[in-house]
Amino acid sequence: EAGVAQSPRYKIIEKRQSVAFWCNPISGHATLYWYQQILGQGPKLLIQFQNNGVVDDSQLPKDRFSAERLKGVDSTLKIQPAKLEDSAVYLCATEAEGEGNTEAFFGQGTRLTVV
Amino acid sequence: AQTVTQSQPEMSVQEAETVTLSCTYDTSESDYYLFWYKQPPSRQMILVIRQEAYKQQNATENRFSVNFQKAAKSFSLKISDSQLGDAAMYFCAYSTDTDKLIFGTGTRLQVFP
């Protein structure tokens, strides 16, 4: 079974530029998450999708961050314009539907450096 | 709000020895799930072990076991017969049926030959 695919693996941009990250979930996984992991911290949820609907985006800085999940499969996360404090690893995770709490599978993340 | 605390930024262990990583959490929920994730330099989070709060029996997965103390809100990870490949960041995490994970700040485990 193929895992969660993320691209690019690394990205360096200047502040005020735009950037987009892409996530391809495990086939059939209905739930998709984007987490932000700042150096030295644990990941923090940015947004949770169930199929193509948003379940939780309470921690997403909506003035500069946006995310979409077209057709309930692939997802993109965009930052526009980027700030220095957005430097972090952006992790995508997906889960199958099921009763109770099911296992989340993570991609390898995108390391973003804003200079 | 739920919080997860890992008070050990770094731990070290000799190969073949045993090490315990600590985690405490705070919640007002009665049903929840606790996890330990391993994050090697490749950055991919790998599930090590999970515990359902309603289960009194501590979870085990081969060399990995937990000590779950629900009343104390403590969830420690014991790694027995440590191997060089166990070296990584370890994150304790909490979740409910909504599935989103709340992570601690992590413990860096070094394994010495």
Q: In this predicted structure, what is the pLDDT of residue A25?
A: 95
In terms of pLDDT, which residue wins out, A97 or B39?
Answer: B39
Q: What 3-state DSSP class applies to B61?
A: strand
Q: Residues A31-84: pLDDT tens digits?
A: 999 999 999 999 999 999 998 899 999 999 999 999 999 888 999 999 999 999
* Percent of chain B scoring above 90 in pLDDT: 86
Of B42, B47, B104, the CB nearest to A103: B47
Give me the torsion for CA of A62, A64, A67, A68, rounded to 10°: 90
Q: How far is B108 from chain A (nearest CA, A)?
A: 10
The model's pLDDT over B77-108, given as tens digits with 9 standing for 90+, comes to 999 999 999 999 999 999 987 778 999 999 99
Residues forming beta bridges with residue A79, ordered by sequence position: A19, A65
Which of the residues B43, B46, B89 would you substitute to probe the A interface, choosing the one with the greatest number of A C-beta atoms within 10 Å?
A: B43
**How many other C-beta atoms are found inside a 10 Å radius of the C-beta of residue B112?**
11
Q: A108–B43: do the CB atoms touch at under 8 Å? A: yes
DSSP one-letter code for B58: P
List of chain B residues whose C-beta atoms are within 8 Å of the C-beta of residue A111 = 43
Task: Label the pairing between strands B107-112 and B10-14.
Answer: parallel
Q: Low-confidence residues of chain B, pLDDT below 50? A: none
Residue A51 near chain B (CB below 8 Å): no
Return the ∠ at Cα B33 (arms to B27 and B35), rounded to 5°.
Answer: 110
Q: What percent of chain A has pLDDT over 90?
A: 83
8 Å CB contact of B103 and A102: no
Q: How high is the pLDDT of residue A100?
A: 64
**Nearest partner of A39 among A81, A84, A82, judged by Cα:** A84
pLDDT > 70 in chain B, percent: 100
Nearest Cα to B17, choosing from B104, B89, B109, B108? Answer: B109
Interface A-B: count of C-beta contacts within 8 A? 59
Quick one: CA dihedral B3, B7, B11, B16, positive or negative?
A: negative
Q: Which of residues 43-102 of B touch A (CB under 8 A)?
A: 43-47, 50, 52, 91, 93, 95-102
Instruction: Give the residue-averaged pLDDT of A97-112.
Output: 85
pLDDT for A103 beyond 90:
no
pLDDT value, residue A52: 85
d(CA A77, CA A92): 10
